[in-house]
Amino acid sequence: DIQMTQSPSSLSASVGDRVTITCRASQSISSYLNWYQQKPGKAPNLLIYAASSLQSGVPSRFSGSGSGTDFTLTISNLQPEDFAAYYCQQSFIIPRTFGQGTKVQIK
């Protein structure tokens, strides 16, 4: 199985900050990397697919980059509604493994 490792596991930030979350795959996954946001008690919501493609309806302050084994999710100008957990997921092979998550908290 491909292991997905996110860092950091949690972070504290303020409204208006620029936040970066990294995701590393245990082997190359090309650009088969997705990012999801999950708020407490809710289902995950797709933000970014294919490493850098913004899902329809997702604000442009969210962006993704990377290929191979190293990927980044950036949230520019952090908004109050962005405080949530974020998960990366590889879709290169089955099982479609997720990272352990990054919790973005209010500073």
Interface residues with another protein (CB under 8 A) are 1, 31-32, 34, 36, 38, 42-46, 49-50, 53, 55, 87, 89, 91, 94-101
CA-CA-CA-CA dihedral for 38, 41, 42, 44, to nearest 10: 30
Torsion (CA) 17, 85, 7, 49 in degrees, nearest 10: -90
For residue 13, give the H/E element and its range. strand 10-13
* Nearest CB to another protein, comparing residues 17 and 69: 69
> Judged by CB, which is closer to another protein: 17, or 55?
55
Closest contact distance (angstroms) between CB of 42 and another protein is 8
Report in angstroms the alpha-carbon separations of 90 from 10, 16, 48, 73.
Answer: 20, 29, 12, 14
**What type of residue is 1?**
D
Q: Shortest approach of another protein to residue 46 CB, angstroms?
A: 6
Between 12 and 53, CB nearer to another protein: 53
Closest distance to another protein from the beta carbon of 106 (Å): 19
